[in-house]
Chains A and B, each alone.
Chain A
């Protein structure tokens, strides 16, 4: 894992902060132990370190409402460069809602309202004046279920570059498609059947095709919403290797229900619970020495 060395350095730097945050934790964890639902109503503070050293995206005080229901409460989180952030937590806790804020995909839901300060390289992306189309080209997304377009493999990958005019001629487009497929680890399997429909690939190949499609527009951040939940273990392992490689070039946020996966691919892990970001820290720390009772309960499998 590429970030492990820096992780230790950050560990030391964080010791002091952790001391500060431990005091309220003891009080709170006792209260929470009574009834794990009650956390939703209480004042809370995110444990661990929400900031990243070299943040690509910063999120401050993010609230999301679906109609009258509030789905996210005052979430603060940074996504660092060349880093994988894993978002874990029980179903309906707001992980997907959170990453959908990062590329404004919540706009496609009529009733959704997103408030808060969300920045990509310091630039506010949650304002009315933001060009959503451009934003989504910079912040790519891979979905839970592979969703290749009913087009050829080539056209699937070429879709984004064509939209954004990234290639001025056919040769350039060919090159973009080839590099994207290579980086997604699909080139060897797909190079002889580029003109065949993307829907004819296996599930794992389809998901890698979707990843290739996403990196073809050369984004700065890649969001992944449970990218392996529809795949078998072998396909999952390939995608995980791929995520690891991709983190050398991109900032990645991945939602996952598999704690092993979070442990394998991420440098930082954020634990969400009922719309609140309970704890975010180095992945090692979250799984070995969590700062919050709820996180501990979740990662040790007591619920979720």
Chain B
């Protein structure tokens, strides 16, 4: 229909000025009149569908529930929800408890018929709206009508909507995490959570069970996260930096053409794969190495997870550093070489200092990635919440605990489950601050040379 109105709108616009010969007297190109007509024809219908889909189900359900006998209806909200589910299943022809099926047969039929009529009404409305829209637009297609500008406005609006989706999603996630976290802090005090030294989230399902209290001091988790991220950065920062310096300053184009794609492959490996590489290859290796040196290395050590995470971040660090080093103007290098500096002197004394803010920004982004990384630590770092700085012991991180708290059957109002949201909130806030700060630093640096 929209396509048809495009064609018609275009035709009509040409017709209003009397054929192709006098197209110049139109304000806009004919196709813009076509787009204008198509938008008027299609857009109201689309909006209607969106509104309809979000409302029709509750309206129909309401009417079905109203039609139910008092005996069935007079129960709590939760039971009513189950009932409605049954009706819907029955209506869709799925299996429902036979006893129930008899009672609800009539309701299911009503539901089906309401759905069908709703579809018909919807289709009819769309056609009507489309026609109305087209006719309205047709009346406005005059030679001096500014169709091009109108179409531009609609395009702009569409782009604004698209770009705000990401923002609203972020806000939505933040709010949902925030509210769940607030519920958690009603049970466990804020200070206990942030500064407590023991983490043992096991709470009893029944009040008379042993160990019913649970402890929610997150310090061991923060310490574990910091330890592993620290090891990762210790590995990734120097290696990534040196890689970038080599690639930008020393490597010939041919070598660069080989190394860069390989680094990108490294960046493309799924973190799960890194995870079992850490758990199955690196961890036993470290344990054997430790034994031969007379050290006791846990089979799930912070060191193993940190090392592999470091390797994972190398391409991230090196490509960010690569960018900032490339942004240092060639004139700086020339100036330094012309004074008789060698390559490494130039890198050390001119290029790295000039690129330092950008490198710091890149490193901060890498840290926030390391903190948020989950899969590797789930598989390789262990679950024991040890408060230790010994990298050879098993530690656990914020992300690992979130995963374990939410995996499996859970009741959603226990402190144990809600703790995951509190941890998530902390993680979110920390990485957000790191990212904002890092991006600010990077941007500030960029401005310097433009």
Contact = CB atoms under 8 A, between A and B. Distances in A.
Given A110-B252, A110-B253, A159-B349, A147 B331 contact: yes
Given A147-B335, A149-B336, A210-B335, A133 B342 contact: yes
Contacts of B329: 147
B353 A151 contact: yes
A217 B337 CA distance: 13
Contacts, number: 66
Contacts of B340: 133-137, 160, 163-164, 217
Contacts of A147: 329, 331-332, 334-335
B126 interface: no
A212 to B, nearest CB: 12
Given A160-B339, A164-B340, 5 more contacts: A110-B253, A133-B342, A136-B337, A141-B334, A149-B335
A160 B341 CA distance: 8
A159 to B, nearest CB: 6
Contact of A143 (B253, B335, B353, B354): B335
A62 to B, nearest CB: 19
B144 interface: no
Contact of B332 (A105, A149, A160, A217): A149
Please give me the 3 A-B residue pairs with the lowest Cβ-Cβ distance, nearest first. Answer: A137-B340, A147-B331, A141-B338
Contacts of A105: 334, 337-338
B338 A149 contact: no
Interface residues of B, number: 21
Nearest to A149: B350
Interface in A141-173: 141, 143, 145, 147-151, 159-160, 163-164
A137 B350 CA distance: 17
Interface in B287-340: 329, 331-340
A164 B338 CA distance: 13
A205 interface: no
Contacts of B103: none
Interface string B340-351: 111001000110
Contacts of A141: 334, 338
Contacts of A143: 331, 334-335, 338
A214 B336 CA distance: 10
A289 interface: no
A103 B338 CA distance: 8
Nearest to B329: A147
A145 B353 CA distance: 20
Interface of B: 252-253, 329, 331-342, 345, 349-350, 353-354, 448
Contacts of B341: 133, 159, 163
22 contacts: A103-B338, A108-B333, A108-B334, A133-B341, A135-B340, A136-B338, A136-B339, A137-B340, A141-B338, A145-B331, A147-B334, A150-B353, A150-B448, A159-B336, A159-B339, A159-B349, A159-B350, A160-B339, A163-B341, A164-B340, A213-B339, A214-B338
A266 B235 CA distance: 57
A140 interface: yes
Interface string A99-130: 00001010010100000000000000000000
A222 B335 CA distance: 13
A10 B258 CA distance: 59
Contacts of B331: 143, 145, 147
B339 A137 contact: yes
Contacts of B448: 150
Nearest to B355: A150
Nearest to A136: B340
A159 B339 CA distance: 8
Contacts of A164: 340
Contacts of B337: 105, 108, 136
Contacts of A135: 340
A38 B337 CA distance: 37
B170 to A, nearest CB: 36
B354 A149 contact: yes
A159 B351 CA distance: 13
Contacts of A163: 339-341, 345, 349
Nearest to A104: B337
A164 B339 CA distance: 9
Nearest to A156: B335
Given A110-B253, A150-B353, A140 B335 contact: no
B190 to A, nearest CB: 45
A291 to B, nearest CB: 33
B354 A150 contact: yes
Contacts of B342: 133
A7 B337 CA distance: 35
Nearest to B331: A147
Interface string A198-237: 0000000000001001100100000000000000000000
A105 B330 CA distance: 12
